[in-house]
């Protein structure tokens, strides 16, 4: 089996920088610590030079490496003043501060699931855990999250939009990225100096060890933390045995009973109501069973309904006995055969709306994020990217580095600001219904769409100097006239 093709440093950072920094931020609770973990992770990667035969294996390496680094000295909340300035809005910082108080394993799962869009199966492979274990722990983590959202006065229907806004802001500062690039280049250019430094450090350690033994001090090999720790210490046993603080009665009905099976498929709650006008025929009646924080079983009868013009392979509506309203449940295992199936099964021509287009990556040696505004974006997307319905689903393809990401919404299902993106090697990809769906549209179509955006859309730079996206100090400029601006 051939090994994964080599990537340039810029390509690797473009693919994994947000994942690495974001997971580090949730693990450590602070941008300073996240920057340090981010730099150490990429330095370790190039120093170890691991060989991978699949891109998924490389992604797993990054996730496990960050989790392993941060677990050594992260088990709590960082200094509060630092937390208050991590995001643009107060409610976002308040939520992040609460999330930093969650158990370590919950923070990891919530970031990978909600902010990175990974499925339970993908997370399980990355962390070497059973999918069922991941799903069970993620349900408990989400229950805690729902309690926190309620305490902050955030409606469940608004939570997806809030998380999407926070996701857009999770990125290292431009200065940190520049320093990382320079550090990696120095590391590659001067391997002999690094080797000499390592030998000197090892020799110094041996001398210190001899002196320590001679002095008769018994406490040896006490290793300092990898990064300056601002967290209170706590034993791993206390962390693993920490009791959940959520309470069954504080949860909404679709949070208490978030899963249901139909036709051999598992559907999960979007914690989102759908209007009665969209309800179709009755599919089944079921008894739903869940366990509360004290391991007590609860049961409720429910009716499962079709959603009009939506395939029951994708989503259904659930009505709980004794409660008003219908709740959307989606099937994260749904995989269409073709692009046309995806469009038809979700009725995307009627249910999907568009935001703006985004580019994140390196330009002229600096990490930038650019937002593009195009009034006729829906028509262009449908004409240039979604017009060939017979394109098959790419079964063996993994999520690639985004070239341009289009913000899309499926408000009927509670999805706001998720990505429909293109890659430079000609793939169209999206994480609709929680899992990735990828189609090969061809490099010519991808390049033609990017060229159209650059030439006709208004653009603005989103400030990254502070580590967050600040849209208040930038305005849209005219379209980029040059045809050479293809981010090569």
pLDDT tens figures, 132-156: 778 878 888 888 888 888 888 887 6
* Angstrom distance (rounded) from CA 31 to CA 220: 32
pLDDT of residue 82: 52
Name the least confident of 59-63, 70-74, 277-281, 411-415: 70-74
pLDDT of residue 477: 66
- Statement: residue 30 has pLDDT above 60: yes
* Angstrom distance (rounded) from CA 100 to CA 106: 10
Which of 44-58, 121-135, 439-453 is the most confident on average?
A: 439-453
Given a contact cutoff of 8 angstroms between Cβ atoms, the answer to whether 184 and 46 are in contact is yes
Tens of pLDDT, residues 344-389:
999 999 999 999 999 877 677 666 778 999 999 999 999 999 999 9
Q: Residue 288: what are its φ and ψ, rounded to 5°?
A: -100, 135
DSSP β-bridge partners for residue 319: 303
Mean pLDDT of 256-283: 92
Domain ranges for the chain, please list them: 9-176, 248-330, 339-462
Tens of pLDDT, residues 42-66:
888 888 888 777 788 888 889 988 8
Question: Encoding tokens for residue 281?
Answer: 């025929």
Between the alpha carbon of residue 121 and those of residues 87, 153, 173, 407, the distances in Å are 30, 32, 32, 25
- Statement: residue 102 has pLDDT above 50: yes
- Statement: residue 189 has pLDDT above 90: no
DSSP β-bridge partners for residue 266: 261
pLDDT of residue 69: 80
**Number of Cβ atoms within 10 Å of the Cβ of 290:** 17
* Angstrom distance (rounded) from CA 444 to CA 448: 6
N-terminal to C-terminal alpha carbon distance within the chain: 29
* Angstrom distance (rounded) from CA 402 to CA 420: 9
* Closest-CA residue to 482 (of 465, 461, 459): 459
Torsion of the alpha carbons at 30, 32, 35 and 37, rounded to the nearest 10: -70
* Angstrom distance (rounded) from CA 72 to CA 249: 35
pLDDT of residue 410: 92
* Closest-CA residue to 20 (of 145, 134, 180): 180
pLDDT of residue 202: 57
- Statement: residue 451 has pLDDT above 90: yes
- Statement: residue 225 has pLDDT above 70: no
- Statement: residue 2 has pLDDT above 60: no
- Statement: residue 330 has pLDDT above 70: yes
- Statement: residue 101 has pLDDT above 70: yes
Mean pLDDT of 171-178: 73
CATH class of 9-176: mainly alpha
* Angstrom distance (rounded) from CA 159 to CA 165: 10
Tens of pLDDT, residues 232-263:
333 333 333 344 445 677 788 988 898 899 99
Strand order in the sheet with 437-440: 437-440, 427-430, 415-422, 404-410, 353-363, 366-373, 458-462
* Angstrom distance (rounded) from CA 227 to CA 224: 8
- Statement: residue 77 has pLDDT above 60: no
pLDDT of residue 175: 67
SS3 assignment for the chain? CCCCCCCCHHHHHHHHHHHHHHHHHHHHCCHHHHHHHHHHHHHHHHHHCCCCCCHHHHHHHHHHHHHHHHHCCCCCCCCHHHHCCCCCCHHHHHHHHHHHCCCHHHHHHHHHHHHCCCCHHHHHHHHCCCHHHHHHHHHHHHHHHHHHHHHCCCCHHHHHHHHHHHHHHCCCCHHHHHHHHHHHHHHHHCHHHHHHHHHHHHHHHHHHHHHHHHHCCCCCCCCCCCCCCCCCCCCHHHHHCCCCCCCHHHCCHHHHCCEEEECCEEEEEEEEEECHHHEEEEEEEEEEEEECCCCCEEEEEEEEEEECCCCCCCEEEEEECCCCCEEEEECCCCCCCEHHHHHHHCCHHHHCEEEEEEEEEEECCEEEEEEEECCCHHHHHHHHCCCCCCCEECCCCCCCCCCEEEEEEEHHHCEEEEEEEECCCCEEEECHHHCCEEEECCHHHHHHHHHHHHHHCEEEEEECCCCCCECCCCCCECCCCCCCCCCC
* Angstrom distance (rounded) from CA 314 to CA 432: 10
pLDDT of residue 235: 36
């Amino acid at each position: 089996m051939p090994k994964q093709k080599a990537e340039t440093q810029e390509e690797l950072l473009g693919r994994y920088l947000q994942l690495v920094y974001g997971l580090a931020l949730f693990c450590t609770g602070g941008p300073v610590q996240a920057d340090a973990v981010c730099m150490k992770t990429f330095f370790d990667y190039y120093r170890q030079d691991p060989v991978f035969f699949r891109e998924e294996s490389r992604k797993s390496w990054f996730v496990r490496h960050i989790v392993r680094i941060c677990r050594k000295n992260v088990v709590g909340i960082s200094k509060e003043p630092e937390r208050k300035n991590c995001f643009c809005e107060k409610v976002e910082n308040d939520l992040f501060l609460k999330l930093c108080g969650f158990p370590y394993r919950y923070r990891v799962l919530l970031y990978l699931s909600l902010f990175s869009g990974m499925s339970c199966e993908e997370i399980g492979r990355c962390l070497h855990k059973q999918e069922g274990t991941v799903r069970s722990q993620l349900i408990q983590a989400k229950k805690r999250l729902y309690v926190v959202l309620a305490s902050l006065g955030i409606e469940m229907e608004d939570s997806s939009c809030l998380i999407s806004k926070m996701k857009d802001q999770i990125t290292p500062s431009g200065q940190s990225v520049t320093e990382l690039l320079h550090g990696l280049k120095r590391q590659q250019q001067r391997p002999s100096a690094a080797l000499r430094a390592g030998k000197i450090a090892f020799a110094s350690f041996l001398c210190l060890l001899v002196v320590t033994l001679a002095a008769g001090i018994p406490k040896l090999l006490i290793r300092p933390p990898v990064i300056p720790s601002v967290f209170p210490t706590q034993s791993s046993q206390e962390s693993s045995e920490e009791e959940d603080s959520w309470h069954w009665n504080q949860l909404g009905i679709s949070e208490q009973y978030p899963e249901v099976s139909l036709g051999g498929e598992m559907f999960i709650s979007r914690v989102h109501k759908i209007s009665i006008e969209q309800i179709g025929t009755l599919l089944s009646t079921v008894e739903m069973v869940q366990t509360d924080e004290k391991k007590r079983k609860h049961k409720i009868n429910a009716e499962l309904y079709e959603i009009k013009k939506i395939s029951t392979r994708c989503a259904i509506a659930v009505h709980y006995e004794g409660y008003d309203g219908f709740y959307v449940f989606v099937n994260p295992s749904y995989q269409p055969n073709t692009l046309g199936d995806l469009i038809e099964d979700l009725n995307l021509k009627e249910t999907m709306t568009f935001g703006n287009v985004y580019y994140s990556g390196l330009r002229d040696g600096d990490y930038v994020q650019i937002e593009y505004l195009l009034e006729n974006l829906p028509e262009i997307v449908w004409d240039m990217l979604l017009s060939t319905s017979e394109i098959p689903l790419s079964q063996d393809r993994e999520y690639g580095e985004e070239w341009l990401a289009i913000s899309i919404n499926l408000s009927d299902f509670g999805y706001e600001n998720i990505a429909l993106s293109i890659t430079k090697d000609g793939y169209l990809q999206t994480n609709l219904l929680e899992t990735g769906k990828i189609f090969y549209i061809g490099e010519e179509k991808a390049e033609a769409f990017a060229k159209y955006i650059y030439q006709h859309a208004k653009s603005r730079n989103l400030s990254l100097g502070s580590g967050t996206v600040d849209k208040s100090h930038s305005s849209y400029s005219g379209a980029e006239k040059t045809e050479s601006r293809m981010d090569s």
